[in-house]
Amino acid sequence: MTERDRWTEEAAWDWYREQEWPVGCNYLPSTAVNPTEMWQAATFDPETIDRELGWAADWGMNSVRVFLQYLVWQDDADGLERRMDRFLEIADGHGLSTMFVLFDDVGFSGDEPSLGPQKEPIPGTHNSQWTPSPGHERVVDRSTWPALAEYVHDVIRRFRGDERVFCWDTYNEPGNSEMDEQSNPLLRESFAWAREADPIHPITAGVNWDPNRSEQNRIGSEEADIVSFHDYSDFGFTKHRVESLQEEWGRPLLCTEWLARTRDNLAETHLPYFKREAVGCYTWGFVNGKLQTHLPWSTAQTSIAEAIEDEDTDTWFHDLVHDDGTPYRPEEYETFQRYVVGDETPPPIEELAALAPGVDAESLGSVVDGSRDDQPGPYHG
């Protein structure tokens, strides 16, 4: 079986310059507690999807990042792909392209994925029923890999020439949920399998979520046509991260997860910065629903939780709109209207840095010139 080559740096930039500046969100319907519930036939909800993606388009978004679940494909491949096609039809009708995520190690629920009715969200708990794909046990059990390869081949080949697809994200946050380096072999294979399917779209992976995972970040970035990263840090850290990735890889960048208000990762600073740097960007979450990601990570029920004393749980952590479509913060909607819909030119870096909480005249230079001594921490979502 022939495997297409990784795009050259020139080819990656040629493709990227033909696109609109990618702006969107990680999307799960407010009625779904995880991707299994989103994609199973009994709970697939096109009416809610159509309504909510209409709101996303009104914000100026032109793309969405959407997680798949291997078990749903294993149970009913044709059915899943018909529902994917229906999703693409709805999204495209609102002017939105779609980035599909094939594998994912994040497991806020602490459970392996399962079919059938999903558990209800636990009140007061961040993302309480999110399960990984294909599941941590399959990641390390190579006897399951032929079926995983078939899944990647089958899904991508079904849509390999579909212009409604923006790109393919082979693996979200490999190593999360205590998987560590165990995920590296499957991460490598996910790229090989995706290239064997020969899509017209670029291939990436949701790595660069923790700068300490140097091997995973290297694998995911050196294999990617366009390089992805996650960022939930303040303006200074974000600037440092973008400049480091630009220098190291020289390819188009996608920040496929961002927005964490209580960590000073904000629409008013980060959205115009991403536009200045031509970095595609997808907020974590859009509609506040069963995921409950308006609550911070510290409320999660697993080891993913970060114990932060007296963390603010009143201010929304992620998400942009209520389940009736009204913005959580009208000024965030106005920021999107200015820089995405209105195509306003972002202000200079110094002005953006001055808007960032905790940045004063004395520290402004260290943010602008990248000379801060402290380094970013994990960016997981």
Per-residue pLDDT of 238-260, as tens digits, reads: 999 999 999 999 999 999 999 99
For residue 17, tell me if it sits in a domain: yes
Non-local (6+) Cβ contacts of 110 within 8 A are: 301, 302
Which of 210, 242, 262 lies closest to 377 in space, CA to CA? Answer: 210
What does the pLDDT read at residue 357?
87
For residue 378, tell me if it sits in a domain: no
> What would the pLDDT profile of 36-93 be if each residue is shown by its tens digit?
999 999 999 999 999 999 999 999 999 999 999 999 999 999 999 999 999 999 999 9
Give the pTM.
0.94
Mean pLDDT of the chain: 93
For residue 2, tell me if it sits in a domain: no
Looking at the DSSP assignment, which residues form a beta bridge with residue 265?
A: 260
10 Å CB burial of residue 155 (0-12, 13-18, 19+) is: buried
> What would the pLDDT profile of 302-313 be if each residue is shown by its tens digit?
877 776 767 889
For residue 379, tell me if it sits in a domain: no
Task: Give φ, ψ of 260 to 5 degrees.
Answer: -150, 90
Domain that holds residue 16: 9-369
For residue 374, tell me if it sits in a domain: no
**Residue 301 maps to which CATH number?**
3.20.20.80
For residue 377, tell me if it sits in a domain: no
pLDDT at 374 over 70: no
Domain count, the chain: 1
Q: What is the mean pLDDT of residues 163-172?
A: 98
Report helix, strand or coil for 64: strand
> What would the pLDDT profile of 191-205 be if each residue is shown by its tens digit?
999 999 999 999 999
Q: What is the C-alpha separation between 90 and 45, in angstroms, rounded?
A: 11
- The DSSP H or E segment spanning 245 is helix 235-249
For residue 327, tell me if it sits in a domain: yes
For residue 313, tell me if it sits in a domain: yes
Non-local (6+) Cβ contacts of 222 within 8 A are: none
